[in-house]
Amino acid sequence: MKRILLFIHITVLSFAVMKGQPFTVATLNVDGLPQKIFFIPLNDDGPGADGTERASQYLANKGYDIIGVQEDFYYHDELRSSLEKFYDRGEWMGFSTGNLPWFHLDGFRFDTDGLCEFWKRQHQCISEDAVIWNDAYGRTDHSNDDLCNKGFRRVQMKLDGGRQLVVYNMHMDASEKEDEESGADWHDKAARWSQWRQLRDYVIPRLDDRPVIVMGDMNSYYTRDSILSLFIRPIEATGRYVVRDCWVEYCRGGRYPAIGDAQLYPWKYGYQQGEMLDKILYICPVKGPRLELLDYRVETDYTWDDGSPLGDHRPVMARFRAVDKGDANVDGIIDGSDVACLARHLVGIATAGFSSWAADVNDDGCIDAVDITLLIQNVAHSTHH
């Protein structure tokens, strides 16, 4: 083994692949309904123009790579105010009350989904598609979910360095707390479950060898919504992809709450053990590049100066790094240093940043001499092409 290590350090074979620098994503419902429409209070406890400008400053200071926002209705200019210097954005569909038929709301919908995406300028948007939910419930009650074209966006991205990624941003039907407690939220739940099915049926045929991030205000709890059976398990049943929820993986060791269990409200269990309505999931091809979750948190400093919440949601963020098979030291390049890293692992020498998934080159669940042989062959083959 010492001879192998010596050979590796002398002969550094270089194979450049797509860079795997860590990147961050965040989702935030910006609570952007107008505080008043004419003289009628609508969202008078919302952040308003001043609060949305503060939200823009907050997001710009955090410097997330990709941001998905929901309820971006009335204060879009304020939301862009601090972001536009550093970020590009997707389509904003606008919001106007000028043509609102006040006394005939049946059948009326605002022609907007309230969604928008921002990404740092070093990244590139390849394409963006918007899809409206087939089912929604509530026009003058039940959170008014059917008063606008709620749905989801699919954004194809190329990150700085060349790696491609697909991002979904969405806003699902809500349930009012009093309706839940009285058992009157079954229409809301039925609409939301229909949305999970629609999302699944849209996502699966479009999956390829790129990692996928699914995030937004999903208004869903694992304890009341069948997210596992409606979305996660059917995708994994293809045998070609794995699906993870950042909160479940990072804070619960991969254990999903059971449907029917008591709800894990954040105000009772805290923002790590408590379940948020806002979620970040990710999908990775079994044989392709893998996203590794490095960090997940709910941003508790999203507040006014007096410490009160800036809106009715908080930003939820996740930090990832992308890993390719063979990139054992996760530096974004597959070369002789990965062979050395794997060799050190085999003789019991710990290496910072070591990825066991990347080191298992033949994907048989065991890291051994076969993997190092295959890796040496792959590196040698790549340097000759």
The per-residue pLDDT for range 237-281, each reduced to its tens digit, is: 999 999 999 999 999 999 999 999 999 999 999 999 999 999 999
The answer, yes or no, to whether residue 7 has pLDDT greater than 50, is: no
Cα atoms found within 13 Å of the Cα of residue 349, Cβ hemisphere only: 9
How many other CB atoms sit within 10 Å of the CB of residue 233?
Answer: 13
pLDDT at residue 283 in the model: 98
Q: Which whole-number Å values give the CA distances from 106 to 101, 140, 142, in the listed order?
A: 9, 9, 15
Query: In the prediction, which pLDDT does 61 show?
Result: 98
Contact 72, 33 (CB under 8 A): no
DSSP type of residue 223:
T
Nearest to 323 by CA among 372, 370, 356, 364: 356
* pLDDT, average across residues 371-380: 82
- pLDDT range class, residue 67, cuts 50, 70, 90: very high
pLDDT value, residue 385: 54
- For the entire predicted model, the pTM comes to 0.86
Helix/strand number for the chain, H first, E second: 12, 16
Using the predicted structure, report yes or no on whether residue 308 has a pLDDT greater than 60: yes
